[in-house]
Amino acid sequence: MATSERPWSAVLRYAESRQNLFGSVCGLAGVGIALTGAAGALWPLVVGGLYTAGALIAPPDRPATPEFAEEGDRLDRLRADFATLRGYLAEVELPVAARERLTALDALVEALLEPGWVTDPEHLHLIARTVRQDVPEAVDTFVRTRWWSRFSAGAEAPEEHLERQLTALHEQAVSVASALREAEAVRQQIHTRYVEERGD
């Protein structure tokens, strides 16, 4: 789920973020305090400190979670929904470890969704649930919980839950890939036996 972007696009995105807006409002309050003379010679520290505090307490920008209208397991629709999910995930800020797990899961799901591989309805349903429900919900819940966890010291780190969820989802996708590999191996063995045993 890696994306390439121009260097200044991250700056523009931050300029429009809630963190910058909250920080700017608090920084302006610091300017007001400085103009009254209450901050004295330390006014730059007051303004900078209030900006930083505002940026830290601001709720994070949370991209809208994609809504998938179709619940069916048609491969073409599922591939389109997977592309939508990728667009959503590219906008979400995640810890490095969680992003690595998500990238591994992404690569495996992409391979499984190639036409002609997954035909078993149960396997298709599992992949559809991963794409349309499990991954979006795991990521959105993490983004919401991460902000609130700042105000509750000693709470379990939300990124640990996210990493565990993504690991479990990857293992499920691996089980589908393993089943496909075994089925193809059996198919190859049957064909080998057929070729070797048939008469001229």
Residue 170 lies in a domain: yes
Give pLDDT tens digits for 51-102: 888 777 777 667 778 888 766 678 888 999 999 999 999 988 888 999 999 9
Instruction: For residues 94 and 129, state if they share a domain.
Output: yes
Work out how many domains the chain is built from and give that number. Answer: 2
Residue 48 lies in a domain: yes
Question: What pTM does this model have?
Answer: 0.67
What is the residue range of 17's domain?
7-57
Residue 66 lies in a domain: no
Q: Of 53, 179, 189, 161, nearest to 118 (Cα)?
A: 179
Q: Residue 194: its pLDDT value, please? A: 80
Instruction: For residues 94 and 39, state if they share a domain.
Output: no
Q: Residue 100: its pLDDT value, please? A: 93
Q: Residue 162: its pLDDT value, please? A: 92
Residue 33 lies in a domain: yes
In angstroms, the CA 60 to CA 13 distance is 12
Residue 160 lies in a domain: yes
Residues of the chain where predicted confidence (pLDDT) is lower than 50: 1-5
Instruction: For residues 88 and 170, state if they share a domain.
Output: yes
